[in-house]
Amino acid sequence: MLSAGSDGSDGPTSAAGAFTDGGTISRARALGLDPYRALRNNDSYNFFSRLGELFCPGPTGTNVLDFKIVLLY
């Protein structure tokens, strides 16, 4: 799944969002990350940054709100 902002960034960071999949939680725990703590602290940037799962496309010149892409297989 990809969750991102169409303008190419979100807030004061260069990231527009992040990728996740069925292994995100297990990879996070293997790195000593607590996904529930990140969620409680509204700290998705540092959580996904440590996992290497940030989406950083750069400015797109448009803003049609946020979007989600989910691949089911």
Range from 1-5, 8-12, 17-21, 62-66 carrying the lowest mean pLDDT: 8-12
What confidence category does residue 8 fall into, taking pLDDT thresholds of 50, 70 and 90? low
Predicted pLDDT of residue 67: 74
Q: Who's near 1: CB < 8 A, 6+ residues apart?
A: 19, 20, 21, 68, 69, 70, 71
**Which residues form the domain of 52?**
2-69
Look at residue 49 in the predicted model and tell me its pLDDT: 95
Give the chain's end-to-end CA distance (angstroms, integer): 12
> Domains in the chain: how many in total?
1
